[in-house]
Structure 1
Amino acid sequence: MDRHYLAVHRPASDEKADYTVHQAMTDYWTLHGSTRVSADAIRARLKLINRFIDHEIAIGVMREPVLPSILNDEWLARFRLWATSIDTIAPQRRAADDRALPPKKRAKSTAEESIIQLKAALRFNARRMTDVPRLKHLTRAEVTPKRTYRLSSDSLAELLHYTCVGDGSAVHATRLIPLRRYLIGAISTMARPDAVMDMSASRARGQWNPAERLFDLNPPGRIQTKKYRAVVPVTELLDDWLSATDDRLVCAEVLRCDDEGDWLDQRPIQSVKKAWQAMQAKLGIPIGWGPKLIRYSVASILRRRGVDKDQLAVALGHQALNSTTERYATLDPEDPRYLESVRALLDELSAELMQKAGTFIRAKSTEVGGNGRRRLL
């Protein structure tokens, strides 16, 4: 009923004059934001704006009702200061070794994303207000210093080696198997972290095509977003790990032994963040770089080795496939030459890493028994 009323109602002049910023954000969420694939992100951005307005009302800077007309450059400046310097994300934090860390501040780009979302909410409800304020957001390039740190192939091999040996104990190395699986997936596909965590070898999911050596990073049923998930070639190393996986690529492995043999149970996990942070501290990866560093680093290595730029753009999801791009054989997933430049260089890099890190980065030899369980060979 609320959605239908909002969709068909035509506000009178007095209603437009009284229309508030809170109403604009609520109506935008009800009619549009809640239906989007990025609904969680939209809600978080609008929530930040709401919290700032509540903060300003509480300290007496603003008064209710908060109308769109009071939003100006001065208001944006106050919001940016509050969002990035005053309102901390995590007041109390601890490192992997239990050291106390300073409060984590919100990135400037995050504040700008909230401003962009607010502008979208106001534009969406333009007919419900007297006038839409002209707000200018800053681009990511304007607020984010260019970061050029990248991992070399030697460094990537060192990361893989670390996940095999850990601190030297067999127990620790076993705990690092999910991180090793994550690295294999990230290096082999250059996918964003969330896409790597979504990778599945299950036939029911339909992402992996072993016959064509292709992997669809976008699971069936998931709507593509601006962060496009591509169909990517499967390297020999990734194929080895997918063949040894029941469902999610990034999973923990538990060895169980009985009279019939040694069985490997695989359990999906939610995150490799803690394992990454421990490795980061151990190997000296600069603070501020998360698992997405793998994507940047592999792409940089391929660029230096002369990869076809158009093919790389498709593999990274920077260029979505459409009727125009699919006219070219190397950009058509149904053509044997699909992303052939990317495939060749990823295979080359995988072979190089196996040589540098040791062949033990391959998956354990297993087979699925008649009972559906995976047996170690």
Structure 2
Amino acid sequence: MASGFLVTDAISNYQILHGQLRASSEAIAARLAHVVRYIVTLPSAAVACEQVNDEWIQRFRTWLTAQPIVSTGGNHRSRSASTVENSVIQLAAVINAAHRRGDASRPAGFRPIPLKELSATPQHRATVPELAAMFRYALSRRRQSDGAGLHRFLIASVSTLARPDAAHEISTAADRGQWNSQRRVLDLNPRGRRQTKKYRATVRVPWQFAEHLDNVAGKFVPVSTVRSAWRGMAIELNLPGDGESGMKLIRRSVAQLLRDRRVPAEEIELMMGHRKLDAVTDLYAAFRPEHLSNAVTALEGIIDEIESFVPGAFHRKDTGQTGSSLKLISGGVAKNG
């Protein structure tokens, strides 16, 4: 019988007190489910937090690596080292949280491997036809909640180059202070949220996305996460594995498409949050018509290309063919017609 606070109890408490409150709750639950599945295979499921050391973790890594990822269609693919290590990192967070609460006698007795040592920078970039295939898949599942959420996520990600967490948090609610309809300006950092090293930019958006935002009250992506729907899509479309086709694929791919269209590097970096203006300049720059104008024009063209492959990808059914009388003219500028 284990002496100490059980890992399974620590996991349950963590999910109740922490995991369920985060946008990544589904990912957290999936990572910890692997740990629970492994514990069930042991001679005794009574494993105390204090017993989990480097040797225990290495046995867990070996076991999980041997468990293939199986799609709903029965297809198998191998599990990457970084995917395995995400479960190790999550377990360390669980045990450390138990220690802070006074449940476990000490923090995690093992050291996860930094993901940057396991993951090479993803090389795959989706082409416009590949992006269109993603929209086609999402539209085919639009009557289901995960499909509707995935469709909205794709629209937001292509239109803004936002990181997945920022795309999920886009809202038109007045108290969030994100959407300025008159100027077509979207602040990816909600009011009251402190900026981090992963800076969230204030961007001008393509007119096709502006029409959507003008007709949404509150959150644009209607679910807390589309991770599960994304995984289903990646398997269905046979997207590359080994970390090449995570949810940041849209961000990386659209950035490459902008480079291919000779959009100035500074504009791409500003949209992605890789470059920041000084505080005063940033406050006013986004409201100038010329701000990110090359990037926005190119994005409107990319969206038109996606729409040519998949009619309805960006179109809102309840607006009529040109929405609120907006038409695209040369140079990507919208005007009333």
TM-score surpassing 0.5?
yes
Instruction: Structure 2: give runs of 5+ residues left out of the alignment.
Output: 316-320, 326-336
1:294 paired with 2:250, answer: yes
TM-score (norm 2): 0.63
1:191 paired with 2:131, answer: no
1:327 to 273, 279, 283: 279
Taking the TM superposition and a 5 Å limit, the aligned residue runs for 1:1-377 are 18-29=4-15, 32-33=18-19, 36=22, 38-56=24-42, 60=43, 63=44, 65-86=46-67, 88-90=68-70, 93-94=72-73, 101-124=74-97, 125=99, 127-151=102-126, 155-156=127-128, 158=129, 183-193=154-164, 196=167, 199=170, 207-217=178-188, 230-240=201-211, 242=213, 245-246=215-216, 280=237, 286=240, 289=245, 292-302=248-258, 305-308=263-266, 312=269, 315-316=271-272, 327-329=279-281, 332=282, 334-337=283-286, 343-353=292-302, 363=315, 364-366=321-323
Larger Rg over CA atoms:
1
DSSP-derived class of the 1:232 partner? strand
Q: What fraction of aligned residue pairs are identical, expressed as a percent?
A: 30
TM-score (norm 1): 0.58
Letter of the structure 2 residue corresponding to residue 186 of structure 1: S
Aligned-residue offset at 1:235: 2.6
**Partners of 1:40 and 1:115 in 2: CA distance:** 16
> How many pairs were matched up?
301
Aligned-residue offset at 1:335: 0.9
Aligned-residue offset at 1:210: 1.6
Aligned-residue offset at 1:149: 1.9
Letter of the structure 2 residue corresponding to residue 307 of structure 1: A
- Flag the structure with more relative contact order, 1 or 2, with Cα contacts below 8 A and sequence separation at least 6: 2
**Partners of 1:308 and 1:73 in 2: CA distance:** 45
Aligned-residue offset at 1:295: 0.9
**Partners of 2:83 and 2:210 in 1: CA distance:** 37
DSSP-derived class of the 1:18 partner? coil
**Partners of 2:132 and 2:15 in 1: CA distance:** 47
Does the 8 Å CA contact 1:186/1:193 hold for their aligned counterparts?
Answer: yes
RMSD: 5.0
Letter of the structure 1 residue corresponding to residue 76 of structure 2: P
